[in-house]
């Protein structure tokens, strides 16, 4: 499934992909891509993944309410996320370490994502890479060997992170960056 060229504004539990932690019937079935979206004031789950794989690239996240914001990327049971070239515009008081939350997931592979924090009129914005941890949970198979679950394969034409905010959520057929 793909969610692209959309604008989502002001939701709490926004993009939950996968059922409950015990829904093992979902195992291996979820493959979701989130690209070229504008996500404004989504409090949490943008996305939160369980039992699946997600490719999250070229999205603009705008967070203006520090008191309501919880996290954006939630890596849940048996899930993994590849995140590339996303932009976070974070209100003053929200640090980039709040972007990612580990719910016992398999891994996240993040590269090229930047945050701009201090968006109030009284402060100067600071732009920097988020440097999310790249981690993979290891497990032992039945023979006692150490294995690593595979992260999802990358696909799609990504923009550089500097192009993403200028692109906006305008659809490709309307002259967007597609």
Q: Place 45 in a pLDDT band, splitting at 50, 70 and 90.
A: very high
> Distance between CA 80 and CA 161 in Å, rounded?
21
CB 139 within 8 A of CB 114: no
**Least reliable range by pLDDT among 16-25, 72-81, 105-114:** 105-114
Domain boundaries along the sequence of the chain: 2-166
Average pLDDT over the chain, rounded to an integer = 76
For the domain spanning 2-166, the CATH number is: 2.160.20.10
Instruction: Name the nearest CA neighbour of 9 among 49, 39, 47.
Output: 39
Instruction: Name the nearest CA neighbour of 21 among 73, 82, 79, 70.
Output: 79
Residue 174 backbone phi and psi in degrees, to 5: -105, 15
Q: What is the pLDDT of residue 143?
A: 42
Q: 24 in helix, strand or coil?
A: helix
Residue 1 has pLDDT above 50, yes or no: yes
Q: What is the pLDDT of residues 114-163, one digit of tens each?
A: 888 654 444 444 555 555 544 444 433 344 443 343 444 545 556 665 56
> Which residue numbers are catalytic?
45
Q: What is the pLDDT of residues 87-115, one digit of tens each?
A: 999 998 888 888 989 898 888 888 888 88
Residue 82 has pLDDT above 80, yes or no: yes
Detail the DSSP E strand segments found in the chain.
2-4, 7-9, 16-17, 30-35, 38-40, 48-49, 52-57, 60-63, 73-75, 80-84, 87-90, 100-102, 107-111, 114-117, 126-129, 135-136, 138-140, 146-148
Q: What is the pLDDT of residue 172?
A: 42
> Distance between CA 171 and CA 156 in Å, rounded?
15
């Amino acid at each position: 499934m793909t969610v692209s060229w959309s604008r989502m504004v002001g939701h709490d539990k926004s993009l939950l992909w996968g059922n409950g932690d015990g829904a093992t019937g979902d195992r291996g079935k979820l493959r979701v891509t989130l690209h070229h979206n504008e996500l404004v004031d989504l409090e949490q789950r943008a996305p939160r993944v369980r039992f699946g794989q997600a490719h999250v690239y070229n999205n603009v996240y705008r967070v203006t309410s520090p008191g309501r914001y919880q996290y954006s990327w939630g890596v849940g049971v048996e899930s993994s996320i590849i995140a590339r070239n996303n932009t976070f515009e974070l209100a003053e008081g929200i640090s980039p370490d709040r972007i990612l939350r580990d719910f016992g997931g398999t891994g996240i592979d993040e590269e090229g994502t930047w945050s701009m924090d201090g968006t109030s009129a009284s402060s100067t914005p600071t732009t920097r890479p988020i440097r999310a941890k790249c981690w993979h949970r290891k497990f032992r198979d039945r023979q006692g060997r150490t294995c690593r679950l595979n992260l999802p394969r990358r696909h799609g034409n990504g923009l550089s992170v500097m192009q993403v905010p200028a692109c906006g959520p305008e659809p490709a057929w309307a002259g967007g960056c597609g």
